[in-house]
């Protein structure tokens, strides 16, 4: 790289949530592998989760460091130690968590004030609009990072601009998103909470996010142009500049293969368990079910999922998120003798599972997912078709992209989000075991439609690899972004 690149220092400021921290650390490694010095702002407990990033950087001569800021849990009214969204005892604490994230502004400014030389660029999370004031105060160029797709960005923009959702008479009445390349319908019940709430607080938050994006020099997006070209072009008319640099998870894998380093460095019990099971099964036969780190699924719903996986007659790996590992569920699994009953046919993992390794294994044939964007990109990069079960945030947008636009998925059939707080008021079941069984059979079927989905998924996987390889669209966009005078 040119000498000016070696002098570049990027300051990355992520939201303290696993779904944001993971792509930010992957992005840090990507920038560092292109000769940039990178500092990631983290809090102590989050830094402890990502110490491996520093170890990898040191062993590969990459310049990555953490700048630790204390997280004001108590000051914001949070229980001590709640430094990541996945550590919150319940969703009701989320507004307090965002308030705590906003309190990081002053300590960050104090740290910047003490530097002899300021960073050459700030890459900030879209969920932290106060970073625009920090960048302005210190006269540092700033770009915004989006951990979602251009499809979602354009849909959201067109809905908000046209206010088409405000003209429908009920939460379940469908409306068409205007000015899109495809005919895409939503209901109000499927929109992210920030879009369907009428409160001034939510409207104010959206206005801040938009203002923060418009004041930035451009946006970085964890996608690749070939995946959603018409939507990338559409959003380029909205933002000042768009650099598609994904899939970041795939960059990460290839970067450390290139450096000759093991991406993990150790194998734990859950990884051994999953990989042994995958090796013992036929190619493209296993269903992988996982719903991310922020799922709050009632036990009654998890029972239906378990019974549906069993009834499908396909081998499965089921990851039960740590928020869902309740005493009640454990009791049911024991009473039903479920793990013993499905021994040899299924594997249950509680907490963390090696998702990238599972998805990229030849035996994995389908992914039952909440449609989080990181998970979606990992499935796309592995060529694995998906069963879509949106649960919150922008996940219904991702479902439309997966099923309707890309044609690599099957819907499980949910039509609305469940308010997370409703989980604590009573058990709610949206998906019955028959729905799970039917969706798995549809995805794994050997007919024409099933074959077309698998072929399309493989074709998109090949495009993803080409995008991140030397000279590919994402590789070129990353280099252009680094070299450009911001």
pLDDT digits (tens, 9 = 90+) for 381-404: 999 999 999 999 999 999 999 999
Q: What are the structure tokens assigned to 394, written together?
A: 């922008």
pLDDT at 239: 93
Please state the rounded mean pLDDT for residues 219-230.
98
Domain residue ranges of the chain, discontinuous segments joined by +: 3-259+470-483, 269-464
pLDDT at 199 over 60: no
What DSSP letter does each residue of 152-174 carry, written as one string?
HHHHHHHHHHHTGGGGSSSTT--
Please state the rounded mean pLDDT for residues 404-414.
98
Separation between Cα atoms, residue 82 and residue 88, nearest integer Å: 6
Note the pLDDT tens digit of each residue in 123-168: 999 999 999 999 999 999 999 999 999 999 999 999 999 999 999 9
- Asked if 289 contacts 355 with a C-beta cutoff of 8 angstroms, the reply is no
Separation between Cα atoms, residue 291 and residue 304, nearest integer Å: 15
Separation between Cα atoms, residue 425 and residue 427, nearest integer Å: 7
Alpha carbon separation from 329 to 138, 334, 391, 430 (Å, rounded): 51, 9, 20, 17
Q: In 34-93, which residue ranges form alpha helices assigned H by DSSP?
A: 44-49, 51-59, 73-76
- Asked if 374 contacts 22 with a C-beta cutoff of 8 angstroms, the reply is yes
Mean pLDDT (the chain) is 92
- Three-state secondary-structure class, residue 262: coil
Alpha carbon separation from 19 to 33, 85, 371, 376, 403 (Å, rounded): 22, 9, 12, 12, 22
CATH 3.40.50.2000 describes domain 269-464 = yes
pLDDT at 46: 97
- Asked if 384 contacts 366 with a C-beta cutoff of 8 angstroms, the reply is yes
pLDDT at 485 over 70: no
What DSSP letter does each residue of 4-36 carry, written as one string?
HHHT-EEEEE--SSHHHHHHHHHHHHHHHHTT-
Fold match flag (3-259+470-483 vs 269-464) = yes
What end-to-end distance do the CA atoms of the chain give, in Å?
Answer: 17
Distance of CA 79 to the CA centre of its chain: 25
Percent of the chain with pLDDT over 70: 92
What superfamily would CATH give domain 3-259+470-483?
A: Glycogen Phosphorylase B; (3.40.50.2000)
Q: Is this prediction's pTM over 0.85?
A: yes
């Amino acid at each position: 790289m040119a000498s000016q690149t070696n002098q570049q220092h990027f300051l990355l400021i992520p939201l303290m949530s696993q779904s944001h921290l993971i792509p930010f650390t992957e992005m840090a490694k990507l920038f560092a592998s292109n000769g940039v010095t990178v500092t990631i702002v983290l809090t102590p407990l989050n830094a402890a989760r990502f110490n491996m990033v520093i170890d990898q950087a040191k062993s590969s001569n990459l310049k990555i460091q953490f700048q630790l800021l204390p997280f004001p849990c108590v000051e914001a009214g949070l229980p001590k130690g709640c430094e990541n969204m996945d550590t919150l005892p319940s969703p009701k604490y989320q507004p307090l968590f965002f308030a705590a994230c906003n309190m990081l502004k002053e300590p960050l400014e104090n740290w910047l004030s003490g530097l002899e030389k300021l960073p050459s660029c700030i890459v900030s999370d879209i969920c932290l609009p106060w970073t625009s004031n920090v960048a302005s105060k210190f006269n540092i160029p700033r770009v915004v990072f989006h951990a979602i797709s251009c499809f979602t960005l354009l849909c959201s923009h067109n809905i908000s601009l046209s206010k088409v959702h405000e003209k429908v008479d009920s939460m379940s009445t469908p409306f068409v998103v205007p000015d899109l390349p495809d005919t895409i319908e939503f209901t109000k019940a499927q929109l992210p909470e920030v879009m369907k709430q009428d409160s001034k607080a939510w409207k104010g938050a959206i206005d801040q996010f938009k203002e923060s994006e418009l004041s930035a020099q451009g946006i970085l997006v964890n996608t690749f142009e070939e995946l959603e070209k018409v939507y990338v072009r559409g959003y380029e008319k909205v933002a000042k500049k768009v650099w598609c640099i994904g899939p970041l998870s795939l960059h990460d894998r290839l970067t450390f293969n290139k450096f000759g380093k093991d991406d993990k460095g150790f194998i734990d019990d859950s990884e051994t368990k999953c990989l042994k099971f995958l090796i013992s099964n036929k190619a493209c036969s296993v269903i992988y079910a996982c719903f991310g780190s922020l799922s709050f699924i009632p036990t009654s719903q998890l029972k239906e999922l378990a019974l549906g996986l069993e009834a499908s007659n396909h081998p499965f790996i089921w990851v039960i998120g740590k928020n869902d590992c309740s005493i009640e569920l454990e009791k049911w699994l024991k009473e039903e003798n479920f793990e013993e009953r499905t021994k040899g046919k299924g594997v249950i993992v509680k907490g963390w599972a090696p998702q990238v390794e599972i998805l990229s294994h030849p035996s994995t044939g389908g992914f039952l997912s909440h449609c989080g964007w990181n998970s979606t990109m990992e499935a796309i990069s592995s060529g694995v078709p998906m069963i879509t079960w949106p649960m919150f945030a922008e996940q219904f947008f991702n479902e439309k992209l997966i099923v309707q636009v890309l044609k690599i998925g099957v819907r499980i059939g949910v039509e609305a989000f469940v308010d997370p707080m409703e989980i604590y008021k009573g058990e709610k079941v949206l998906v019955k075991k028959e729905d799970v069984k039917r969706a798995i059979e549809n995805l794994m079927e050997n007919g024409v439609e099933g074959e077309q989905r698998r072929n399309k998924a493989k074709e998109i996987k090949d495009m993803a690899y080409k995008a991140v390889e030397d000279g590919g669209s994402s590789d070129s966009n990353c280099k252009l972004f680094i070299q450009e005078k911001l």
